[in-house]
Amino acid sequence: MATIRDVARRAGVSIATVSRVVNEQPGIRPETRARVHDAIDELSFRPNAIGRSLKAGTSRVLGVMVPTLANPVFAEAVEGLQHEARKAGYGVMVTTSDYDADTERAAVETLMIGRVDALVLTVRDAADAATRAWLDAIDRPVVLIYNEPGSRPTVTVDNAAAGAAAAEMFVRLGHSRLAVVAGSLTGSDRSRARWLGFANALQAQGCPPPVKVEIPFHQTDLGQAIADLMAGDAPPTGLFCSNDLIAMRTMAALRELGLGVPGDVSVMGFDGIATCRLLHPSLSTVSQPSRTMGEAAATLVLKELAGGVAEPFTILPHRLVEGGSVGPPPRAAQRGPTTSPTERGVPST
């Protein structure tokens, strides 16, 4: 691996001159420049970013942490972020936290040791005291994405309003008994915000508060949870899921139970994962512009690195996508408690 010194020797100049040529600084005789370029080519010299970083005190690397890349929402955001970063000549170091608070902290610590110039993070709960503590202690630009706005610049959608919009859609169609199926209602700030917006809007419309169902992160089969939920006397006619992945699994579980969507139960998701539009019935969902969020976060953080000051928060527009998974409630449900909606209905408790 050739160093600047090798190039200098070969070209018969000093390392300072080579550096100037490499960085395209003015004040080099064309002839000298050519000689240096030749040497660079001959040795296929690539300036060592580490040496450069050490001197410059900057690594030109962005650190990114998301809960998981297995959820396309985050994967797409990272993709957008990465594109934007590359355009600006920045690299992107990626870590995942698996929705675990301790892992979050450790992962960010690792990124900081890696000397990233700035961070783009999604944490479980930006309002959590412990999280805020270490978050506020970070001495570099930080931008949060997907989290609820707090002490750090944040790029997100209006989760409460989005939850309310979902509620209003259900109510408009005639639903009143609703449930929320969430990954971790207690732990995740955005999930909580969606829930709150949803529940408040329902209350405003005079509906009873929605039932809550919480699903542990790693549980992929929702069969039991959904069966339990639908087993009561007056099961919900509409389910608001805290993300599309859960919504898909919920639909699969309902199908297992012999319940039709949206005939017996309506299902609504959150995120707007592309593949969910291809389901049958296609999933109604609140879509957020993931890729754009990643791009916006990159732009924001790069701006801050360039000496600018980042907006405290950027709220991107969400969009209610009306798919086929939401329809009016079944007739029976409108009259109150009834028998199982289908012949294969689950036994009542």
Cis peptide before 262 (omega within 30 of 0): yes
Is the Cβ of residue 255 or residue 331 nearer to its own copies in the bound state? 255
Give yes or no for a contact between 298 and 84, defined as CB atoms under 8 angstroms apart: yes
Stretch that binds its own copies, among 16-24, 166-174, 243-251, 308-316 (CB under 8 A): 243-251
Name the minimum Å distance from CB 308 to DNA: 20
Contacting its own copies within 253-272 (CB under 8 A): 255
Name the minimum Å distance from CB 154 to DNA: 30
Residue 95: name its binding partner from its own copies, DNA, none (Cβ under 5 to 8 Å by kind).
its own copies
Q: Are strands 266-271 and 238-241 parallel, antiparallel or unpaired?
A: parallel
Residues that bind DNA (CB under 7 A): 1, 3-5, 12-17, 19-20, 22-23, 26-29, 31-33, 45-48, 50-52, 54-57
The DSSP line for 20-50 is HHHTT-S---HHHHHHHHHHHHHHT----HH
In the block, tokens 């969400």 appear at: 318
Which residue blocks in 92-180 are alpha helix, DSSP H? 101-113, 129-136, 159-172
- Coil, strand or helix: which one is 339? coil
The DSSP line for 239-282 is EEESSHHHHHHHHHHHHHTT--TTTT-EEEEEE--GGGGGSSSP
Identify the residue among 5, 87, 172, 280 touching its own copies (CB under 8 A).
280
Residue 22: name its binding partner from its own copies, DNA, none (Cβ under 5 to 8 Å by kind).
DNA
For residue 286, the 8-state DSSP code is: E
Contacting its own copies within 111-130 (CB under 8 A): 111-115
Is 79 a binding residue for its own copies by CB under 8 A? The answer is: yes
Cis peptide before 281 (omega within 30 of 0): yes
Is 220 a binding residue for its own copies by CB under 8 A? The answer is: yes
Is 87 a binding residue for its own copies by CB under 8 A? The answer is: no
CA 266/CA 227 separation, integer angstroms: 15
Residue 16: name its binding partner from its own copies, DNA, none (Cβ under 5 to 8 Å by kind).
DNA
Residue 347: name its binding partner from DNA, its own copies, none (Cβ under 5 to 8 Å by kind).
none
Contacting its own copies within 167-206 (CB under 8 A): none
**Of 346, 295, 306, 289, nearest to 82 (Cα)?**
295
Q: What is the dihedral of CA 241, 247, 253, 254, to 10 degrees?
A: 70
Is the Cβ of residue 14 or residue 224 nearer to DNA in the bound state? 14
Identify the residue among 219, 224, 275, 348 touching its own copies (CB under 8 A).
275
**Of 60, 65, 134, 130, nearest to 96 (Cα)?**
65
> Which string of x and - marks every residue 38-77 that binds its own copies (by CB under 8 A)?
--------xxxxxx-xx----x-x------xxx-x--xx-
Is the Cβ of residue 51 or residue 337 nearer to DNA in the bound state? 51
CA 155/CA 64 separation, integer angstroms: 14
Residue 34: name its binding partner from its own copies, DNA, none (Cβ under 5 to 8 Å by kind).
none
322: phi then psi, degrees, rounded to nearest 5: -90, 105
CA 99/CA 146 separation, integer angstroms: 13
For residue 98, the 8-state DSSP code is: T
Is 233 a binding residue for its own copies by CB under 8 A? The answer is: no
Site of interaction with its own copies (CB under 8 A): 1, 46-51, 53-54, 59, 61, 68-70, 72, 75-76, 78-79, 82-83, 86, 91-96, 107, 110-115, 139, 220, 245, 248-249, 251-252, 255, 273-280
